[in-house]
Amino acid sequence: MHTRNLNMEKCEYSHCVVDFIDNDMDSEQLYFEADALIFQGGRLPKKPPQRANKNQTFIYATIESPLHLQLSPGGSSWKNAINWTMTYRVDSDIPYKYGDLVPKNNTTTKDFSAIFRQKSKQVAWLVSDCVTESKREKYVKILQKYIKVDIYGRCGHFKNCTKDEGQQCLEQIAKDYKFYLSFENSMCNDYMTEKVFVWFGMDIIPVVRGARTYDRLLPPNTYIDAHKFKTISSLAKFLKELSENEQEYVNYLKEKSKYDILNERATVQSAYCELCKRLHNLNDYTRTYQYVQSWWYKNTCVRTTNDLIEE
């Protein structure tokens, strides 16, 4: 995350300073002066430190999915220790996202029909993590039985386009293909990463799988949710039909064009501004989690997928 490039002067409450505590002689002094301590994901110590004062706020923060963290967020010693959560989840106290969407003030008019007609290929996927908790690699292997999916990157046959090659590579994929697979590595509520936001701003329709809660994350008619299809073959059938229906396909592009994308840097800045506001108004945001690990883990992810059904 872009936490080392924050500009707290941009915030409504601009009197906050963010420090990073390392293992050095200054750490103890910073700890006792801090109004809040942020504990990152799987890096919680076995026991919480003693609060410097009764108003010092403890915050649990992460952008990783629970299935991707190697360590659980504390044990019984952390009972009633965490005050606020700062994660990608909608029900976090402070949203801490990979990106966000905001309605445009003015929608730019494009020749979407011309864009549709220049596309000659069906489905693309750019991926470098070849074995995942979500079993997305197995899902795509089955999908390829019913519709052509070109896989780029370390896990595919097309090595000429990787994330390291930059924006030009991505734009070429968006120009040639009608659909892009924005599949996450974990199946967890609200877990939606840059895999969606990078492609949302391009003239291609993202097919999403992972968050399981896309209805509350993305505007309607701007994406295709693989979770909505009972079988993989029915998803493929829908994609084929949509790829041949210019009017319906263009409608998706038009809906997407109504939104601007806030990148990760902007959303992290927003999260820390919200944190600063809360610290200036502690009485309005009093809260304590009895067990933050229960909030974080219980019924939020699935390790075994039930959607790897062909027909």
Q: What is the pTM of this model?
A: 0.90
Phi-psi region of 166 (alpha: psi -120 to 50; beta: other; left: phi over 0): left
Question: Distance between CA atoms of 243 and 127, rounded to whole angstroms?
Answer: 23
Query: Does 185 lie in the same domain as 127?
Result: yes
**Whether residue 165 has pLDDT greater than 70:** no
Average of per-residue pLDDT across 75-87? 91
Say how many domains are in the chain. Answer: 2
Return the percentage of the chain with pLDDT > 90, whole number: 68
Per residue in 191-205, pLDDT (tens digit) is 999 999 999 999 999
C-alpha distances (whole Å) from 161 to each of 106, 111, 168, 172 are: 33, 27, 9, 9
Query: Would 138 be classed as within a structural domain?
Result: yes
Query: Would 281 be classed as within a structural domain?
Result: yes
Query: Does 157 lie in the same domain as 59?
Result: no
pLDDT of residue 250: 97
User: If we measure between CA atoms, which residue out of 205, 212, 226, 228 comes closest to residue 123?
Assistant: 205
Query: Does 138 lie in the same domain as 83?
Result: no
The domain spanning residue 208 has which CATH number?
3.40.50.11660
C-alpha distances (whole Å) from 67 to each of 71, 73, 121, 283 are: 10, 12, 34, 34
- Residue appearing with tokens 């936490």: 3
Per residue in 48-73, pLDDT (tens digit) is 888 999 999 999 999 999 988 755 55
Query: Would 104 be classed as within a structural domain?
Result: yes
pLDDT of residue 158: 76
Query: Does 130 lie in the same domain as 55?
Result: no
Cβ atoms 225, 208 nearer than 8 A? yes
Query: Does 234 lie in the same domain as 297?
Result: no
Domain that holds residue 246: 100-262
Per residue in 86-100, pLDDT (tens digit) is 999 999 999 999 999
Between 42-51, 71-80, 128-137, the lowest mean confidence (pLDDT) is in 71-80
Query: Does 31 lie in the same domain as 60?
Result: yes
Query: Would 310 be classed as within a structural domain?
Result: no
Cβ atoms 151, 127 nearer than 8 A? yes
**Whether residue 164 has pLDDT greater than 60:** no
Query: Does 298 lie in the same domain as 173?
Result: no
- pLDDT confidence bin for 160, thresholds 50/70/90: low
Between 22-26, 158-162, 239-243, 307-311, the lowest mean confidence (pLDDT) is in 22-26
pLDDT of residue 25: 47
Per residue in 97-125, pLDDT (tens digit) is 999 999 998 877 899 999 999 999 999 99
- pLDDT confidence bin for 154, thresholds 50/70/90: confident
User: If we measure between CA atoms, which residue out of 159, 155, 160 comes closest to residue 181?
Assistant: 155
Query: Would 311 be classed as within a structural domain?
Result: no
Query: Does 273 lie in the same domain as 152?
Result: no
Query: Does 243 lie in the same domain as 288?
Result: no
Query: Does 106 lie in the same domain as 239?
Result: yes
Query: Does 239 lie in the same domain as 123?
Result: yes
Query: Does 170 lie in the same domain as 92?
Result: no
Residues β-bridged to residue 149: 123
